[in-house]
């Protein structure tokens, strides 16, 4: 089973993603959540066991404190083995291009339907 971390600043959206999708049926276990990139990095920095480090992160682009692009840049430097799927309310090609440059495996636009998230994962 793959380990997943959801990084999204809007609590209702984050909880909907975590609770509203049958992750286990897709082969994923949600091991952590964060409201911004800084909190996501804190989780990774404090992970004592490999089971606490995600295989995949679903990351919002625009968040307070540390946005998704800055998080992705840090992940590329220190955790290059973590796969990233971006969730964004911005269809701006520049965001998508930057995200792909930082190794994003996918780019989902909000509002995203469960079926599209399921298909991506």
DSSP symbols for 13-51: HHHHHHHHS-GGGGTEEEEEEESSHHHHHHHHHH--SGG
pLDDT at 92 over 80: no
The tokens describing 37, both together, are 């990139």
Q: What is the reported pLDDT for 121?
A: 94
User: Which range, of 2-6, 23-27, 45-49, 64-68, averages the lowest pLDDT?
Assistant: 45-49
Q: What is the reported pLDDT for 93?
A: 80
Question: Is residue 75 very low, low, confident or very high in pLDDT (cuts 50, 70, 90)?
Answer: very high
Q: What is the pLDDT of residues 6-47, one digit of tens each?
A: 999 999 999 999 999 999 999 999 999 999 999 999 999 988
pLDDT at 48 over 90: no
Q: What is the reported pLDDT for 39?
A: 97
Chain centroid to Cα 5, Å, comes to 6
- Write down the mean pLDDT value for the chain: 93
């Amino acid at each position: 089973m793959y380990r997943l971390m959801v990084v999204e600043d809007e609590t209702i959206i984050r909880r909907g993603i975590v609770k509203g999708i049958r992750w286990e049926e897709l082969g994923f276990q949600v091991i952590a959540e964060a409201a911004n990139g800084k909190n996501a990095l804190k989780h990774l920095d404090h992970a004592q066991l490999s089971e606490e480090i995600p295989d995949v992160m679903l990351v919002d682009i625009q968040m307070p404190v540390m946005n998704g692009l800055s998080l992705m840049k840090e992940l590329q430097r220190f955790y290059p083995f973590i796969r990233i799927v971006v969730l964004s309310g911005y269809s701006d090609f520049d965001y998508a291009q930057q995200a792909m440059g930082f190794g994003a495996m996918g780019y989902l636009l909000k509002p995203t339907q469960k079926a599209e998230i399921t298909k991506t994962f």
